[in-house]
Structure 1
Amino acid sequence: MEVLAAIGTGHGTISRKRQLFLLPPAMRFQFNPSISINPSPQFQSLLQLQLSTNQTLTVVPALGGGGIDNETERSSPLEVKKEIQRCYQLVHRLGRGALYLGSSRVQPVHPHYLLALELSREVAKMLDCTTWTGAGPGLMDAVTRGALQAKKPVGGFKIGKEAGEWTSSNFHPYLPPDTYFTCRFFSARKHGLVDAIVRNDPSERTAIVALPGGIGTADEIFEILALIQLERIGSKFPVPFVLLNYDGYYTKLLEFIEVCEHWGTVATGEVASLWTVCNSNFEALEYLAEFYGICESKRNYDIGKYVNQGTGSYI
């Protein structure tokens, strides 16, 4: 967000005292610093004024409700701490469950969107747990819709900007506002996503499901893998990690890991021991069912037909 600097009290003629305000998105204009302003106390809470080098007072739109992307706030670790606390509170209220990582760019007509919707619906029903996502578009939206079809709780941690699009509002188009939180800081968001899958009781059923994605998804995948590898995930009990290799999407990534093993930067079989690679929803559901000892009678998956076993594509 663009923020220029200005000097002003916000209570009368501009003086040498600095004062911060916030501006609603619909109101953006410029002032000459020599003028007098007298905003009400309510309006003061809606404006942000700072001093620019050309002595022009610029009032810019800012995101509300925890979505202000302000570089000045990044200088305070307390702001990050507050967000982490709010993320933990949301997880505590909605309950831990299945976390989905995936692209925000995939359109609803794409086969992987339909597969993600199908998988999240069946996992939510089978594990009877909360579904967690980044509460954004693309595959995150597919997962959210699938869990809602299963009539199970959904929670999410939004971020002010998703890949490929600016988020002009902190509000989700259809989720209740008390089921998600918009983070300013990626670090806080990651804390929340990780806490959502921690298992401190053997009765808890959580999982990490990595769907096809880009840089952001890869970042989250490897950060969580590192936490598991170093035993810093904060979970007393193992958490299943599923990598969905729809249509061979992650084949090149798996080959890269083999290269790492060849050069000795990764121990042979080390990564394979941290996750399970599945090529279809059926494989993923069966793996999770085995992991949590779900009996055969409850494995009635409502999933589509596939070209053949081992592929994620619909006929």
Structure 2
Amino acid sequence: MTPLEDKRIREKFKPKTWNEIKTNDSWAIFKIMSEFVDGYEKLSRIGPCVSIFGSARTKPDHQYYILAEEIAFELTQHGFGVITGGGPGIMEAANKGAHRGAGISVGLNIDLPFEQKDNQYIDHDKNLEFDYFFVRKVMFVKYAQGFVAMPGGFGTLDELFEAITLIQTNKIGKFPIILVGSAFWGGMLDWIEKVLVEKYGNVSPTDLDYFTVVDTADEVVQIIDNFYKQHNLSPNF
């Protein structure tokens, strides 16, 4: 354990004075508020977009990087912009595809001690910086009309299940959620079905309808196009 980690744990057991509460906790509200205001102002007019989640560790020569770039490019050709976490890996690939397709390319960066850095394919006026994960996740959901989850780690799972939970609890509309890579997601889906649904009943069988698993860019675009055709909606080119 590092000295910083030890300090953070010990601070939770330390009683705070009123001055410390005012200086640290209360004033943090204004920093949080400023991130929400900046995000709302910059993203409120971006038009229909799809949030694409995925690992920061995926290399440019990996099949999923190449696939993420193609998905993003194809989405722009169908009138959608792309929102990512703004960093390297899958995020970079998606922004790169959107940039290549001359579409909206948004990056929601987060201040992290490792892995996260801006990629060069984000529109200069749509590159946002966040200190708080929960504010950033609001932006991922609030301004997206669909969600694509590429293979990733804990961050990707966090973003994916945030979207599923908000749809399940009727907090947002039932937008398309697409998991790309059946080989990657297959084990998790088996566990959800056999353990959460069948063994413990913690998830309803119908909850599995909230997402679809595919393997190609064409399938992603077709699902999103078909969804909006059912509602007689189409993005503006």
TM-score greater than 0.5 by the shorter chain? yes
Q: Taking every aligned residue pair, what percent have the same amino acid on both sides?
A: 29
Q: Residue 137 of structure 1 aligns with which residue? A: 88
Shift in Å at residue 286 of structure 1?
Answer: 2.2
* CA distance in 2: counterparts of 1:72 and 1:125, whole angstroms: 47
Gaps of 5+ in 1: 4-70, 198-205, 295-315
Q: Pick closer, same or farther for the CA change 1:193–1:110 going to 2, 3 Å.
A: same
Q: Counterpart of 1:213 in 2: which secondary structure?
A: coil
Q: Pick closer, same or farther for the CA change 1:192–1:213 going to 2, 3 Å.
A: same
Structure 1 length normalisation: TM-score? 0.61
Shift in Å at residue 289 of structure 1?
Answer: 2.5
**Which structure has the larger Rg over C-alpha atoms?**
1
CA contact 1:121–1:146 (8 Å) conserved in 2: yes
Q: Residue 189 of structure 2 aligns with which residue? A: 254
Whether 1:221 and 2:221 are equivalent positions in the alignment is no
Shift in Å at residue 281 of structure 1?
Answer: 2.2
* CA distance in 1: counterparts of 2:132 and 2:26, whole angstroms: 8
* CA distance in 2: counterparts of 1:79 and 1:216, whole angstroms: 23
Cα offsets for 1:288-307 (capped at 9, x unmatched): 2222239xxxxxxxxxxxxx
* CA distance in 2: counterparts of 1:139 and 1:104, whole angstroms: 6
Correspondence for 1:279 among 215, 220, 237: 215
Shift in Å at residue 211 of structure 1?
Answer: 0.7
Count, aligned residues: 208
Q: Pick closer, same or farther for the CA change 1:160–1:73 going to 2, 3 Å.
A: farther
Q: Pick closer, same or farther for the CA change 1:172–1:74 going to 2, 3 Å.
A: farther
Residue type at the aligned position of 2:137? K
Shift in Å at residue 111 of structure 1?
Answer: 0.7
Q: Counterpart of 1:269 in 2: which secondary structure?
A: helix
* CA distance in 2: counterparts of 1:93 and 1:231, whole angstroms: 24
CA contact 2:99–2:122 (8 Å) conserved in 1: no
Q: Residue 22 of structure 1 aligns with which residue? A: none
Q: Residue 148 of structure 1 aligns with which residue? A: 99
Shift in Å at residue 140 of structure 1?
Answer: 0.4
Structure 2 length normalisation: TM-score? 0.80
* CA distance in 2: counterparts of 1:253 and 1:166, whole angstroms: 26
Greater helix share, structure number = 2
Cα offsets for 1:21-74 (capped at 9, x unmatched): xxxxxxxxxxxxxxxxxxxxxxxxxxxxxxxxxxxxxxxxxxxxxxxxxx9478
CA contact 1:243–1:275 (8 Å) conserved in 2: yes
Q: Pick closer, same or farther for the CA change 1:282–1:129 going to 2, 3 Å.
A: closer
Residues 163-242 of structure 1 correspond to what in structure 2 (within 5 A)? 164-165=114-115, 167=117, 172-197=119-144, 206-233=145-172, 235=173, 238-242=174-178
Whether 1:264 and 2:215 are equivalent positions in the alignment is no
Residue type at the aligned position of 1:79? K
* CA distance in 1: counterparts of 2:175 and 2:115, whole angstroms: 32
* CA distance in 1: counterparts of 2:228 and 2:165, whole angstroms: 23
Q: Residue 288 of structure 1 aligns with which residue? A: 224
* CA distance in 1: counterparts of 2:158 and 2:54, whole angstroms: 11
Q: Pick closer, same or farther for the CA change 1:166–1:116 going to 2, 3 Å.
A: closer
Cα offsets for 1:173-232 (capped at 9, x unmatched): 3534311111011111111111111xxxxxxxx211111110000011111110000011
Residue type at the aligned position of 2:77? K
More contact order relative to length (CA 8 Å, sep ≥ 6): 2
* CA distance in 2: counterparts of 1:144 and 1:74, whole angstroms: 36
CA contact 1:90–1:180 (8 Å) conserved in 2: no
Q: Counterpart of 1:106 in 2: which secondary structure?
A: coil
Q: Pick closer, same or farther for the CA change 1:146–1:166 going to 2, 3 Å.
A: closer
Shift in Å at residue 172 of structure 1?
Answer: 4.4
* CA distance in 2: counterparts of 1:134 and 1:106, whole angstroms: 14
Q: Counterpart of 1:293 in 2: which secondary structure?
A: helix
CA contact 2:104–2:123 (8 Å) conserved in 1: no
Superposition CA RMSD, Å: 2.3
Q: Pick closer, same or farther for the CA change 1:96–1:283 going to 2, 3 Å.
A: closer
Q: Residue 36 of structure 2 aligns with which residue? A: 84
